[in-house]
Structure 1
Amino acid sequence: MSNPNTQPVEEQKERNIGFFWAILPLAVMIIVMLVTVVKLEEGPHVPLIVGTVIASLVAYKSGFTWGEIEEMMYKGIKLALPAVVIIMLVGLVIGSWMGGGIVASMIYYGLKILNPSFFLVAICVICGIVSLAIGSSWSTMGTIGVAGMGIGLSMGLSPGMIAGAVISGAYFGDKLSPLSDTTNLAAGLTDTDLFDHIKHMLWTTIPALVLSLGAYAFIGMKHAGGSVDASEIAQTSAVMRESFLISPWLLLVPVLVIVLVAMKVPAVPALAVGIFLGFLSQLFVQGDTLAHSLNALQEGYKINTGNTLVDELFNRGGLDSMMYTVSMTLVAMTFGGILEFSGMLKSIMNQLMKVVKNTSSLIASTIGAAFLTNATCSEQYISIVVPSRMFAKTYQKMGLASKNLSRALEDGGTLTSVFVPWNTCGVFIFATLGVGVAGYAPYAILNFLCPIISIIYAITGFTIEKLDNGGGGGSQNKTEEKEDLDSLQPVSVK
């Protein structure tokens, strides 16, 4: 419990923390993270805790009381609670859909109609269409993405390749969907018309998608000429037939969840419907026992077919499987909460602002600041909120339309969140698709191409729009920099 004498952080006087002290917790955390994760191959929790300890000491040295520092941690965790709920629900979805034969049916029919040579292109496009319709990359990856991983692995494709194609498609649709929370957030914070914002993003997103699909087609053609074993695919399909009751009717469950989200039903009740139907499918369609069906929700589905690939595909899910991810999210957000609410992140951003000399450096700095916020605060919402506050007036002073800022926030914030292992997006992908950042990063092509294309446009001036007397680009955000993040109310979780 927090100290009863603690005053809310937003009531405390602002303190100026020097750049050296502000950057110290981040530097220590990164060094410990590199040693722990890269060299020792251990988890990222302890490095984040070390960073939190250093950040706490710096905040204490700067005049904050321990009670105030506790409040910063709790406020950081509060921002992540919607994501934590979704992460736990996705664990239940995977467990129930595995046990209910839903994923098995999706994989079985997917193997019938998809070919390894164009699979990566197909799964990217499918995820893009679904995400565009429902406005949620997380829901897309937690449903279509899970099945796509199973299909691709059955074809002998690399897990990193499959995950990268799924991520590219999911974030393409999410970025351009008027239903997406981050899309609405970026437009709203910069006071840009939503559809002007989306149209402006087409200039970076469409070329990135075309190049991504071209790369996936090339990889697929190369793979098709290699080691795909048709007999192994046939054997996998046969084992699934023996282990599950395969039926096209079971495909109605994921379709219903997607339809519910597309109808603007919030993610939590929509996923709850999917969990309930998956549970009923395992109980009545697959004929499993009540104890096993409940156990699939808690500990994940368990199966032993003797086929290594099938066992690896279906021994997954459950609430317990998400606890690693949940704990990492909470630890990361305590670290991010101290950096943000103590003013350390603001101090770092102020130094970054000093390099801004022209349009190209301004947009590049915006993208860099959004990525830095993803790495320090571990939450993509904050990567949009903080830079929007820091850079809005500068864009206005340089005569740049607000849509340039809103696009840079999405290119640098929304899309790069997947490249930070301790960011809520990175941990969600690891928990859902079973692939770490190092595995999928080279293949999440759209996600790293968009920021690069955006910076190239900034250097050349292509598609960079100026303010006009009629305010054609949307007026700049009037939010004061001292405004608290408690005003942020995301439409839904990714």
Structure 2
Amino acid sequence: MFLELCTLLLFVAVLVAALAFKVKLVFAMLAGLAFFVGYALVRGHGVRRVLAMCGRGIVTAKGILILFVLLGLLTALWRAGGVIPLMVVHSVQFIHGSGFLLAVFLLNCAMSLLTGTALGTAATVGVVCATAGHALGVSPCWVGGAILAGAYFGNRISPISSMALLTANITNTDIYANVRRMLKTTWLPLLLSCAIYLVVGLCGFANDLSGVAGDSIYASDVAGNFSAEPVRALFAKEFSLSPWCILPAVLMVILSVLRVRSSRVLLLSALAALPLAFVIENHSLADVLRAVVFGFHAHTPELAPMINGGGFLSMLNVFWIVVIAGCYAGIFKETGMLTPLKSAVEKIAARTNSFCATLVASCVTACVVCNQTLTIILTHQLTENLDTDSAPGTTKLCDADKSSDKPNAIVKNESHALDLYDTAVTVIALVPWSVATAMVLAAANAPASSVLCACFLYLLPICRLV
């Protein structure tokens, strides 16, 4: 137990130091990998076996790696094909300056609820909101926080979310019954989040006009209403703004509603933007290939801060984070490194209740493994045997179920599933160095400090505790 604890604390210390001194996260994670490999060697595992552990861990993360590649392709082609410019131009005209943050949060909530994917939400509505936020002079930190919170709202509660389905599967519960139970713990933090974003917008706490490219272009009237015409005129210098450019976005929504696999949705939507880049926007093959690899770059200087980005290289940093996190997963699973933590979690549950213990376990796990899927699975493994009656008030959310004819085992599974939904599924998005956070913020081009403004993700467990 002592060796495991020291190794984990050393890793956490390196991560904190990297954030404090603004060192790239990849280097900190490589240091952590060295610690965990050293731990496995000390425990008697040979070099070949440790390498095999890492390899098997990476294989389990291949699905996420593929999604990152497709996300880079999508974000580049949506820019080159005029999809994002068109969506920005039309969204800006409906945005009131003081209500922008609330609109961003609700738009991302709606999209993630509809599609069930935080990644797809960030790559579509999130990118549009981030671009519009820059144009309107809103703080990237607040915009990123609203996008992050909205993206993981649906990632948690949507019945077509892969993470929601995973949680239902490992707890042997019904996904639609889980959604109904989650509504009881969702309405209050949702309303509080809306109130916070509205107040912040009305009071002007999120204003950041220093980041706007030209005050005269994005000027607002005395009522705070931003004119869409200057924005349209600016984008029209380089893009056609044809209505046909909306088709890839519509296709993504339709395919998501039909529950098509996320990887296929991203690929098909990206391919749908390809002919638009050639025919509508008149880009050459060389221009498109450059955008796919290096990201799209506008020729108009005023547009560059808002529209540049995307491409495979933009996902490279996050790609390596996932690879290293996969190595962690393999080592943890086959060495049993986290097993001693189970007794500590049980002691916390005995002194408080099962939800508090699950929240602590999910926070620690998320900080260490940096992966949403692994956080959910490991937290489940650490807390699945907790007694939901271990403290007063723990099972209040399941009182209706207890009065029914359901066996105690089913009621316990449902209570445990709700604890996971309100902790592990969302807490991971508050860890700046986690894959779940990095992929959303990278797609929206938002700073890591945005996690401080993701109100819903904080309020959800706080409301459960209160």
TM category, shorter = 0.7 to 0.9
Instruction: Give the structure 1 partner of residue 413 of structure 2.
Output: 402
Q: Which residue of 2 aligns with 1:5?
A: none
Q: Which residue of 2 aligns with 1:485?
A: none
Match of 1:350 in 2: 343
Query: How many angstroms does 1:322 deviate by?
Result: 1.1
2:224 maps to what in 1?
Answer: none
| Partner residue, 2:10 | 28
Which of residues 365, 376, 382 is equivalent to 1:373? 365
What TM-score, normalized by structure 1, do the two folds share? 0.83
Residues 428-483 of structure 1, C-alpha deviation per residue, up to 9 Å, x if partnerless? 1232112233x211211111111112222xxxxxxxxxxxxxxxxxxxxxxxxxxx
Aligned partner (choices 358, 362, 386) of residue 354 of structure 2 = 362
Q: 2:280 corresponds to which residue?
A: 285
Q: Deviations along 1:64-103, whole A, 9 cap, x unmatched? A: 2222211221222122211111111111111111111110
What's the CA shift for 1:397?
7.2
In the aligned structure 2, how far is the partner of 1:411 from the partner of 1:225? 28
Change (3 A) 1:427 1:380: same
For residues 168-179 of structure 1, what are the structure 2 equivalents within 5 Å? 168-179=149-160
Structure 1 counterpart of 2:246: 251
> What is the aligned length?
433
Q: How does 1:87-486 map to 2 (within 5 A)?
A: 87-223=68-204, 231-232=217-218, 234-307=229-302, 310-357=303-350, 360-395=352-387, 398=390, 401-437=412-448, 439-456=449-466
Q: What is the CA–CA distance in structure 1 between the aligned matches of 2:202 and 2:388, rounded to whole Å?
A: 48
The equivalent residue for 1:86 is 67
Kept after mapping to 2: 8 A contact 1:421/1:427: yes
Measured at CA, do residues 339 and 225 of structure 1 come closer, stay the same or move farther in structure 2, by a change above 3 Å? closer
**Which blocks of at least 5 consecutive residues in structure 1 are unaligned?**
1-18, 457-494
Residues 286 and 363 (structure 1 numbering): CA distance in 2 closer, same or farther, change over 3 Å?
Answer: same
- How far is 1:231 from its partner? 4.2
3-state SS of 1:208 partner: helix
Distance 1:227 1:80, change over 3 A: closer
Letter in 2 for 1:415: T
CA shift at 1:416, angstroms? 1.2
Partner Cα distance (2:29, 2:107) in 1: 36
Matched residue SS, 1:415: helix
Does the 8 Å contact 1:209/1:446 carry over to 2? yes
Partner residue in 2 for 1:470: none
Structure 1, residues 395-426: CA drift from partner, whole Å, max 9, x if none?
A: 36757632221111122111111122332212
Greater CA deviation, 214-223 or 414-423?
Answer: 414-423
Equivalent position amino acid for 1:97 in 2 = W
CA-to-partner distance for each residue in 1:227-272, whole Å, 9 max, x for gaps? 7667425544322111111123212221111111110111122111
Q: What is the rounded CA distance, in whole Å, between the counterparts of 1:278 and 1:455 in structure 2?
A: 46
Query: What letter is aligned with 1:294?
Result: L
**1:332: how far off?**
2.6
Structure 2 residues not aligned, in runs of 5+: 210-214, 220-228, 391-407
Alpha-carbon distance between aligned partners in 2 of 1:113 and 1:376, rounded to the nearest angstrom: 42
Q: Give me the whole-angstrom Cα distance separating, in 1, the residues matched to 2:75 and 2:54.
A: 31
For the residue of structure 2 that corresponds to 1:403, the secondary structure is helix
Q: Could you say if the C-alpha distance between residues 396 and 449 of structure 1 is closer, same or farther in structure 2, counting changes exceeding 3 Å?
A: closer
Measured after TM superposition, the shift of residue 148 of structure 1 is: 1.0
Mapped partners of 2:139, 2:147: distance in 1: 13
Distance 1:273 1:194 in 2: 27
CA contact (8 A) 2:76 2:296 kept: yes
List per-residue Cα deviations over 1:75-132 (Å, max 9, x = no partner): 2212221111111111111111111111011111111121122122122212212211
Task: Quickly say closer, same or farther: Cα 1:176–1:289, change in 2 above 3 A.
Answer: same
Aligned mates of 1:227, 1:69 — CA distance in 2: 49
Q: Which moved more, 1:119-128 or 1:314-323?
A: 119-128
Matched residues in 2 for 1:238 and 1:368: separation? 51
Please state whether the residue corresponding to 1:96 is helix, strand or coil.
helix
Q: Secondary structure at the match of 2:134?
A: helix
Q: Report SS of the residue matched to 2:204.
A: helix
CA distance in 2 between partners of 1:67 and 1:225 (Å): 52
Q: For residues 64 and 282 of structure 1, do their structure 2 counterparts lie closer, same or farther at Cα, with a shift above 3 Å needed?
A: same
Root-mean-square deviation over aligned CA pairs:
2.0
| SS of equivalent residue, structure 1 residue 395 | coil
Alpha carbons of structure 1 residues 449 and 225: separation in structure 2 relative to 1, 3 Å: closer
Partner in structure 2 of residue 479 of structure 1: none
The answer to whether the 8 Å contact 2:345/2:382 transfers is no
State the identity as a percent: 23
Match of 1:43 among 4, 12, 24: 24
Classify the secondary structure of the residue corresponding to 1:356.
Answer: helix
How many angstroms apart in 1 are the aligned matches of 2:113 and 2:207? 33
- Aligned with 2:185: secondary structure? helix
Asked if the contact 2:61/2:322 (under 8 Å) is kept, the reply is: yes
Amino acid at match of 1:321: S
